[in-house]
Structure 1
Amino acid sequence: MNRKILYWIDFFLPHIGGSEIFSASLIPALQERGYEIEIVTSSEVEGFREWDGNSEISIHRFPFWNALKNGNLQQMILLRKQITEFKKKFQPDLVHLHFGAASYFHLQTLNAYPAPTLTTIHSCPEICSSPQSLLNRTLQATQWLTTVSAQELANIRKFDPSVSARSSLIYYGVELPKLPPRPLNIDTPKLLCLGRLVPNKGFDIALQALALLINRFPKLRMIIGGDGTAKADLMQQSVDMGLGNVVEFRGWVDNAEVPALLNEVTIVLIPSRQMEGLPLVAIQAAQMARPIVATAVNGLPELIVHQQTGLLIELEDSVSLAEAITYFLENPVLANQMGQAARQKVQENFDLKNCINHYDALYQELSGVAIKSQLPAP
């Protein structure tokens, strides 16, 4: 019997982010194991392009994000009705909910067709003490919770101890690229910042660090890959700092092109501010044996062990970031060793097959509860 999974996520491809890329690998693998999966996600996001990827993935797009952002009560009522009808028609055995703003609509339609909820939290939400907060209500409605970092799991369990017995850590699983890592280029080094161009990523701090280094390392260059609301500000910042000919804004980078891009660069920078679970770019950079400098926030230290698999710095510290870059450029043997150690660590802890097996086991266990509950009493 095929079990029906309603896979609920705020955004999906072509919107680029760690959870979207991860989901695009997880869903087909679970479909191959016999699950019938339907995706419910947002539409009408800034810069939205329809995805021309896997035609076997069924995607249902609703304007959740705009309705909530604009506080459009009439639209929210209509969406609640549409989701109610969709759930009744699909009759899921399990809802896999990726926590986010659109979780509101799942909670509003819990009784449309009762099914267990598996919730995944990718980045620690701001902890709210109100019993009516979206996080609190989601945790209360969840039969099982997974997180993508141990730190995140500890934070959630501290926030709500009742979750401890029904929660677990499942690291992102990422397939190892077929493209082998190139040797690090120290003679004409390149730095890389890759991800959504939003303030939380801290790419403005990376530009500040570059400005501190360019006289000492005149051949140093930086690539910023990605799109987002902060792009114009970052481009203006690079011009104002006299870095216009030093920084290349690569634009949107297809996930399939990421390994080749990583092979171009010498060091990967992840100067994130808060609200990072464990960024996918850290895993991808480690797979390609690139030395990483990152802020010590949330799950990043679980992959980047200071002076073993990379270097960690404090928040908002462009001087320390510049010093860490200098350390790698002046110690290429150690930079290479840390990159290789990171590659080994990611192969051991972020294996895609293991990740799929863990979710498969949860799907079976939780959807089995749903199936049993629908059987007639003996």
Structure 2
Amino acid sequence: MHVLFCNWRDTAHPEGGGSEFYVEQMARGLVERGHRVTIAAAAFEGAAADETVEGVRFVRSGAKFGVYLHIFARLLTGRYGRVDVVVDVQNGLPFFTRWATRKPVVVLLHHVHREQWPVVYPGLVGRVGWWIESRLAPRLYRRSRYVTVSQATRLELVDLGIDRDRIAIVHNGSTPAPRLGGPRSTTPRLCVLGRLVPHKQVEHAIDALADLVDQYPELTLDVAGDGWWDAELREHAAARGVADRVTFHGFVDNATKHRLLAEAWVMAMPSLKEGWGLVVAEAGQHGTPTVAYASAGGTQESIDHKDSGILVDTPAQLTKAIDEILADPSWRRFLGDGARTKAASLSWEASQSRFAEEIARAAGR
């Protein structure tokens, strides 16, 4: 079959992240099973408009918001060729593919954006966005199958009126980490990995650092990732008096990312919402435990509380949990061993097989 993924970005995009990595893992799994796969995504500076990477064709057009219109028009007019199944990847907004094709449409959704809309787009824009996601999209895709990455998101979709039996869960896998030399940092280090946007709440990690520096004079924080909230975060670090202790690495390559994870004593994930939290397993491969908010949703499944990491409810609890891990080497090793075991239990191959089954089911095969 020819499977078309309609996605906001791809992993080569400067703002690409874990959800884009998941999409491309599923796409490669379909290619390995003999299918033809196209990923339609936004264009960006320096990117090829049409290229094939590891058997997956990438077609890029439109910018951050224009990509929705571009993909809809191209699908409607058949410019992607004959398509057998469409995967509409909903990052807040759908691509309205149900109106552009009569072919089966599978909705891939990592998490519901109820909390993000008023944070990222306060006012009317956020209210309209949430109305589209919560009211219009469930009705538009009422005959489509859904794939999501966690039970938490599945329950949120059920709350939006989507039939439980139309929602499949396909978890994230775990990619073996590159071999790295050198020991863990001899001084306490925190790290945060992800896009620098408001709903990732990196400020909470900076606040934890500021609150703990008197107890740990050598404590530092590595922030890996890029995004439009970068300047605000730097200002926040300066306002808290820890600008000299926070290193903003920007976008990093895979080797650098894993080096930072391996050196860290704790990874903080203060995100407002996560469908799963791919970086939790990446940190776990190095025996680095994660502290995250339980209310983020998917973290309740990517982290086994008090076994592979810690789940908390408030910023004060986040700081306290980090403090306890930094202060107790045996507790840190226990959680690190659990994080490593949890990461090893996740398989991209198993997830790809499960996703391929859902594609076949949608196509009636």
Instruction: For 2:105 and 2:203, locate their aligned partners in 1 and report how far apart those are by CA, in whole Å.
Output: 39
Sort the Cα spacing of 1:132 and 1:263 in 2 relative to 1 into closer, same or farther, 3 A: closer
Q: Compute the displacement of 1:368 (Å).
A: 4.0
Instruction: For 2:203 and 2:328, locate their aligned partners in 1 and report how far apart those are by CA, in whole Å.
Output: 25
Q: In the alignment, does 2:231 pair up with 1:250?
A: no
Partner deviation per Cα, 1:150-180 (whole Å, 9 max, x = no partner): 111112123215x212211110122222436
Identity level (%): 25
- Does the Cα contact within 8 Å between 2:290 and 2:309 map onto a contact in 1? yes
Which residue of structure 2 aligns with residue 160 of structure 1?
Answer: 161
Q: Compute the displacement of 1:23 (Å).
A: 2.4
Which residue of structure 1 aligns with residue 127 of structure 2?
Answer: none
Sort the Cα spacing of 1:243 and 1:30 in 2 relative to 1 into closer, same or farther, 3 A: same
For the aligned residues, what is the CA RMSD? 2.6
* Residue type at the aligned position of 1:333: S
- Does the Cα contact within 8 Å between 2:275 and 2:298 map onto a contact in 1? yes
Which residue of structure 2 aligns with residue 342 of structure 1?
Answer: 339
Q: Compute the displacement of 1:227 (Å).
A: 0.5
Instruction: For 2:286 and 2:136, locate their aligned partners in 1 and report how far apart those are by CA, in whole Å.
Output: 38
Which residue of structure 1 aligns with residue 124 of structure 2?
Answer: none
Question: TM-score, normalised to structure 1's length?
Answer: 0.83
Q: In the alignment, does 2:229 pair up with 1:234?
A: no
Which residue of structure 1 aligns with residue 24 of structure 2?
Answer: 24
Instruction: For 1:131 and 1:182, locate their aligned partners in 2 and report how far apart those are by CA, in whole Å.
Output: 46
- Does the Cα contact within 8 Å between 1:153 and 1:169 map onto a contact in 2? yes
Sort the Cα spacing of 1:49 and 1:290 in 2 relative to 1 into closer, same or farther, 3 A: farther
Which residue of structure 1 aligns with residue 284 of structure 2?
Answer: 286
Which residue of structure 2 aligns with residue 34 of structure 1?
Answer: 34
Summarize the alignment of residues 185-334 of structure 1 with structure 2, pairs less than 5 Å apart.
Answer: 185=185, 187-273=186-272, 275-296=273-294, 297-315=296-314, 317=315, 319-334=316-331
Q: Compute the displacement of 1:183 (Å).
A: 5.8
Sort the Cα spacing of 1:105 and 1:159 in 2 relative to 1 into closer, same or farther, 3 A: closer
Which residue of structure 2 aligns with residue 91 of structure 1?
Answer: 82
Sort the Cα spacing of 1:53 and 1:130 in 2 relative to 1 into closer, same or farther, 3 A: closer
Provide runs of 4+ in structure 1 moved above 6 Å. 129-132
Q: Compute the displacement of 1:357 (Å).
A: 0.9
Q: Compute the displacement of 1:184 (Å).
A: 4.5
- Count of matched residue positions in the alignment of Structure 1 and Structure 2: 346
Partner deviation per Cα, 1:224-269 (whole Å, 9 max, x = no partner): 1101011001111112222122111111022454222211211100
Instruction: For 2:271 and 2:78, locate their aligned partners in 1 and report how far apart those are by CA, in whole Å.
Output: 38
Which residue of structure 2 aligns with residue 145 of structure 1?
Answer: 146
- Does the Cα contact within 8 Å between 1:21 and 1:255 map onto a contact in 2? no
Instruction: For 2:71 and 2:351, locate their aligned partners in 1 and report how far apart those are by CA, in whole Å.
Output: 33
- Does the Cα contact within 8 Å between 1:190 and 1:264 map onto a contact in 2? yes
Aligned counterpart in structure 1 of residue 360 of structure 2, from 356, 360, 364: 364
Say which is worse superposed, 319-328 or 126-135, in terms of deviation. 126-135
Which residue of structure 2 aligns with residue 5 of structure 1?
Answer: 3
Secondary structure in structure 2 of the residue aligned to 1:90: coil
Secondary structure in structure 1 of the residue aligned to 2:78: helix
* Runs of 5+ consecutive residues of structure 2 not aligned to the other structure: 116-129
Instruction: For 1:286 and 1:66, locate their aligned partners in 2 and report how far apart those are by CA, in whole Å.
Output: 35
Instruction: For 1:229 and 1:26, locate their aligned partners in 2 and report how far apart those are by CA, in whole Å.
Output: 28
Larger radius of gyration: 1
Instruction: For 1:53 and 1:250, locate their aligned partners in 2 and report how far apart those are by CA, in whole Å.
Output: 30
Which residue of structure 1 aligns with residue 57 of structure 2?
Answer: 58
Secondary structure in structure 2 of the residue aligned to 1:140: coil
Sort the Cα spacing of 1:335 and 1:184 in 2 relative to 1 into closer, same or farther, 3 A: farther
Secondary structure in structure 1 of the residue aligned to 2:95: helix
Q: Compute the displacement of 1:60 (Å).
A: 1.4
